[in-house]
Amino acid sequence: MGRRKARRPADRIRPVRIAPAAAALAALICAVTAAAQQAPPVPVLLQPDTVLVGGKIVTMEEDFSLQQALAVRDGKIVAAGDSEEVRALAGPATRVVDLGGRTVVPGLIDSHMHAIRAALSFSYEVNWIGAESLTEALGRIGDAAAKRAPGAWLIVAGGWNPQQFAENRRPTQAELEAAAPDNPVYVQLGYGWALMSDDAFEALDIRDEADLPAGGRIERDADARPLAVSGDSPAIVALFDLLPKPTHAQQVAGTKAFFRELNRLGLTGVGDPGGNNLLPRDYRALFDVWRSGESTLRVTYSLNGQEPGAEFEELQSLTAMLPMGFGDDMLRFNGLGERVTTAMYNNPSPSDADRERFYEIARWAAARGMAVTVHWGADATVGHLLSVFERVDREIPIRDLRWSIAHLNDASAATLSRMAKLGVGWTVQDAMYFGGEAFLRRAGREAARRAPPVVTASRLGVEIGAGTDAHRVASYDPFTALQWFLDGRTVGGLALRGPEETPSRAEALRFYTLGSAWFSHDEDVRGSLEPGKLADLAVLSADYLTVPVEEIGAIESLLTMVGGRIVYASGPFAELEER
């Protein structure tokens, strides 16, 4: 599929366009003449459910045109154009929403978010995303403690960084215990460190390293009291698994609440790559919310191998009755990822046997038409992965399967060319927002200026989807990521990326809409606001196209629609939300 280049927003409003399925409307609209002749009433069966008028609608079509109004019927956009013409389609039962000049964008799609896992515990976690000071963050701990019974766990699972705080430091154990003296508290930072209160250490029966997962270390104070646990990623993953699990009812409630939180930020879809702490049984809450018709977020999900050395057999069993694309437009199976085999995950030097095992699974997936997405960190070693992809492609072409690589912030032009030749896409996250300073120390200024090289990738024909990798290692806020795409600044304010790899606002928005939809094989039905496509959209609190770049991160949605249903509304639209 050819790559569509985003252009500068058009100053003109394009004429009204009608979905082919609603072709009968065209004759009626044409009857509206310059002499203000009254068009015949639109037949009831063709009248829209909702019309949005008086806005600045960013369609994300090829010429990046703007419209004033949209008409929606049966979950799809049926017309787009001038406010007066679209309003004329409304009938007595049509809901007419005056946008008041506000900007509307296609519903945002995070192409790589661990949303299923985050949702499971959202109802009992404490969220530090967006907290600007330790005082604010610790206040959230205190507020949660006041609402919960003594002894109830308070867990901050991630999504924060010390640099986001005015104090620019981590909390202390004493501060945690002052905020919640009667509750065990656990605070995780990325995959390398977890601070715990005394009550938490006691509840988990951890006294020394022998009580920790392999690779974990206890940090102690001057009196040898345990303060925190540090270690490698597997150790922290295993430590988190020791925490009490929410009940199924809490998982269902958390899934609904987390999806609504994402809707608040304009998200209407996510691609979930699986990952740590997510076993087959953990999908039950998601499936229950989906079956009940209560999901407000489109989810495409991939399955991981969880058993080291036995991943092939495990994946064959899990997918025996789960063909690629199984599901519907709210929940759909999207292949394998992100850790297909343990041996090829975060391993810069896999052995021949490791690569052979991965090849066996990859070839099997290709033969069954499955997508594959793989986590990879560094360009210096990604040849191990691409060599396997190329070997499979020589036997079973993978171009139409939409395989992809996630992360790879320092991708070289040579690597991107190999990816483009294979039709392999790239899901890019705002990892440098939290991790830019560490990358700069490790790789140097020149490497940091081009990380990630999205402009080069676009020029070479690599499809790009935007995302966050939330919520353990990053915020799930798409507008934080969009601002970072445009200014290249870390949470600490350090500007890294140079102009040569900085996309335009249109290009960055395309990454989060049509770009991300490509990875779930449905850019033909969502990702832009065109007649015939799903009515997934967000009415923004500020104009993404014109506000100063430094203000983009504060944007939220005032009204979010998924398939024509208003799933979130606030401010002037609050009364419109459909519960």
Q: How confident is the model at residue 82, as a pLDDT?
A: 95
What gap in Å lies between CA 185 and CA 197, rounded to an integer? Answer: 5
Tell me the C-alpha to C-alpha distance, in Å, between residue 420 and each of 140, 259, 462, 497, 521.
45, 33, 5, 23, 17
- Count the alpha carbons within 13 Å of 416 in the hemisphere toward its beta carbon: 23
DSSP-assigned letter for residue 123? T
Decide: pTM greater than 0.85. Answer: yes
Tell me the C-alpha to C-alpha distance, in Å, between residue 40 and each of 37, 154, 304.
9, 62, 57
Q: Is 369 left (phi over 0), alpha (psi -120 to 50) or beta?
A: left
Query: Which alpha helices (H) appear in 31-99, and where do they start and end?
Result: 83-87
Do 506 and 9 form a contact (C-beta atoms < 8 A)? yes
What is the dihedral angle through the alpha carbons of 545, 549, 555, 561, rounded to the nearest 10 degrees?
30
Residue labelled with tokens 């065990």: 184
Long-range pairs for 569-572 at CB < 8 Å and ≥24 separation?
570/264, 571/541, 572/100
Sequence-ordered list of residues with C-beta below 8 angstroms from that of 291, at least 6 positions apart, any chain: none
Token pair for 137: 């963050």
Tell me the C-alpha to C-alpha distance, in Å, between residue 54 and each of 69, 233, 237, 260, 296.
6, 50, 49, 26, 26
Cα–Cα nearest to 465, from 371, 564, 330, 342? 371
Per-residue pLDDT of the chain in tens (579 residues, 90 and over written 9):
444 444 444 444 455 566 654 444 444 444 433 333 455 666 766 799 999 999 999 999 987 889 999 999 999 999 999 999 999 999 999 999 999 999 999 999 999 999 999 999 898 899 999 899 999 999 999 999 999 999 999 999 999 999 999 999 999 999 999 999 999 999 999 999 999 999 999 999 999 999 999 999 999 999 999 999 999 999 999 999 999 999 999 999 999 999 999 999 999 999 999 988 788 999 999 999 999 999 999 999 999 988 899 999 999 999 999 999 999 999 999 999 999 999 999 899 999 999 999 999 999 999 999 999 999 999 999 999 999 999 999 999 999 999 999 999 999 999 999 999 999 999 999 999 999 999 999 999 999 999 999 999 999 999 999 999 999 999 999 999 999 999 999 999 999 999 999 999 999 999 999 999 999 999 999 999 999 999 999 999 999 999 999 999 999 999 999 999 999 999 999 999 887
What gap in Å lies between CA 144 and CA 126, rounded to an integer? Answer: 7
CATH number of 267-527: 3.20.20.140
In this structure, the strands spanning 537-540 and 557-562 are antiparallel
Residue labelled with tokens 């990892």: 431
Domain boundaries, given as residue ranges, for the chain: 124-241, 267-527
Q: How confident is the model at residue 40, as a pLDDT?
A: 63
Sequence-ordered list of residues with C-beta below 8 angstroms from that of 280, at least 6 positions apart, any chain: 318
214 φ, ψ to 5°? -55, 135
Instruction: Determine if the peptide bond prior to 407 is cis (ω within 30°).
Output: no
Residue labelled with tokens 């600044």: 489
